[in-house]
Amino acid sequence: MKVVFLAPSYPPEMQQYTRGLAEVGATVYGVGDTPAAQLPPNVKRHLADYLQVPRLLDEDDVIRRVHQWLRGREVDRVLANWEVLVVTAARLRERFGLPGMSVDTVNGFRDKELMKERVRAAGLRTARSARIKTVAEARAAAEEIGYPLILKPIAGAGSADTYRVDSPQELERVLGAMRQIPEASCEEFITGDEFTFDTICIGGQPVYANVAHYLPPPLIARSVESISPVIITVRDLQQEKLAAGQQLGRGVLQALGMGDGFTHMEWFRKPDGEAVFGEIGCRPGGAHIVDQMNYTSDIDLFREWARVACWGTFQAPTERKYNAAIIFKRAKGHGRITRIEGLNEFMKKYGEFVVEQRLLTPGTPRRNWKHTLTSDGHILLRHPDWDKAYELSQIVADEIHLYAE
């Protein structure tokens, strides 16, 4: 099995997928813009060959260079797990006549308005929305949909450049901030709890499924600096309150023609219990959610994704043993981290439940919280009881503090 894997070393979690491919017996040809000499050793040892390209996000140039590079060699798969490269991978598959989802299918997971059109056509509930390219179109869509509403890029990922808009005056301000966005989606604002529906699929059917709860919803977490965002995977997926969201998710997979691989969907549970589709990507979620799923079930989904992608089989057990909570911390102040308060006390009391502690150490420059959800590090813990996992996550959020100056 010879596999071209786009971006084998960046973002950093891609290194785990590269490892997974090698461990299931694939010959891995990496394509990235990192100089070969600067590839991490744990990536180099899993690559049979590597092509450095000058601009990884230049689709046409990458396709041309990969085509020249592979001339005379057989390839069985072209794969990508980074949102911005899933269409490039699909175009390469079509160029080489390889199995996998087509460009049209992948666009349904990438273009948020096309996505919603296809999901609506299947009779599934989505937020009312419209594609906008101009200020005039935005104003017209806002008038039709009503306030509050959400504006976000058509091809965005996560909550980047996503805004809640509550009035015509605020709309004008937000449109000014989004001048660099060529296309956007203007959507109905949905009030409710926000969850994920994550899967690894074979032929569009989940062989592993996960639900995680965002606390608070990502839009709030990405708007208020003082918040420590929390995400908790839910051990018990049989709860009645989660049934509609999972049913919705499976319907979305069919509506969009999912093939093999990871998906990451976000959905809302309204106060009346209705499940509303948010968006979905045909790739794994970011912000360490795959690590959380691994800790939830004590398995290695980096390897199992590779097994599915290469051989069409999934071998890991699917028992859910824990609720796994990740808490992202943001330092107070600017400059370098000077101290951490509350961590030692927490570890003495609850350290047995902590599986990762990756807060930035004193002396490290703090990160720009607007540019990364992972902020200034995280603590990842797990517990078989939901209430206890939630309680511990809130203690970390409220009582551990990083300071910078």
Domain extent for 46 = 2-100
Lowest average pLDDT, out of 92-96, 127-131, 193-197, 200-204, goes to 127-131
Q: What does the pLDDT read at residue 157?
A: 60
Q: What average pLDDT does the segment 192-215 reach? A: 98
Q: What angle do CA 133, 136, 139 make, to 5 degrees?
A: 105
Report the alpha-carbon distance of residue 216 to residue 214 in Å, rounded.
5
* HSE-up of residue 45 (Cα within 13 Å, Cβ side): 7
Q: What does the pLDDT read at residue 107?
A: 97
Report the alpha-carbon distance of residue 273 to residue 267 in Å, rounded.
12
Q: What's the start-to-end Cα distance of the chain, in Å?
A: 51
Res. 277 pLDDT band, cuts 50 70 90: very high
Whether 119 maps to a domain, the answer reads no
Q: What does the pLDDT read at residue 156?
A: 63
Residue that has been written with the tokens 């018990």 in this structure: 236
Whether 267 maps to a domain, the answer reads yes
Tell if the pTM clears 0.95, that is, is over it.
Answer: no
Q: In the numeric block, which tokens belong to residue 163?
A: 């805004």
Whether 19 maps to a domain, the answer reads yes
Whether 114 maps to a domain, the answer reads no
Overall domain count for the chain: 4
The CATH number that applies at residue 148 is: 3.30.1490.20
The CATH number that applies at residue 63 is: 3.40.50.20
Whether 107 maps to a domain, the answer reads no
- 158 and 200 in a single domain? The answer is no
Which residue, 54, 81, 100, sits at the end of a domain?
100
Residue that has been written with the tokens 């691994």 in this structure: 294
Q: What does the pLDDT read at residue 160?
A: 65
Round the average pLDDT of the chain to a whole number and report it: 95
Q: What average pLDDT does the segment 49-56 reach? A: 98
Whether 353 maps to a domain, the answer reads yes
**pLDDT at position 370 over 90:** no
**pLDDT at position 3 over 90:** yes
**pLDDT at position 194 over 80:** yes
Summarised one tens digit per residue, pLDDT across range 298-347 is: 999 999 999 999 999 999 999 999 999 999 999 999 999 999 999 999 99
% of the chain surpassing 70 pLDDT: 99
Whether 352 maps to a domain, the answer reads yes
**pLDDT at position 153 over 90:** no
- 290 and 392 in a single domain? The answer is no
**pLDDT at position 269 over 80:** yes
Question: Which of the 8 DSSP states describes residue 58?
Answer: -
The CATH number that applies at residue 196 is: 3.30.470.20
Q: What does the pLDDT read at residue 211?
A: 98
- 306 and 258 in a single domain? The answer is yes
Res. 204 pLDDT band, cuts 50 70 90: very high
**pLDDT at position 279 over 70:** yes
- 89 and 133 in a single domain? The answer is no
Which residue, 286, 321, 356, sits at the end of a domain?
321
Res. 51 pLDDT band, cuts 50 70 90: very high
Q: What does the pLDDT read at residue 159?
A: 57
- 315 and 201 in a single domain? The answer is yes
- 260 and 205 in a single domain? The answer is yes
Q: What does the pLDDT read at residue 265?
A: 98
Q: In the numeric block, which tokens belong to residue 217?
A: 């919803």
* HSE-up of residue 86 (Cα within 13 Å, Cβ side): 27
Which residue, 83, 100, 117, sits at the end of a domain?
100
- 140 and 253 in a single domain? The answer is no
Whether 108 maps to a domain, the answer reads no
Q: What does the pLDDT read at residue 334?
A: 94
- 25 and 84 in a single domain? The answer is yes
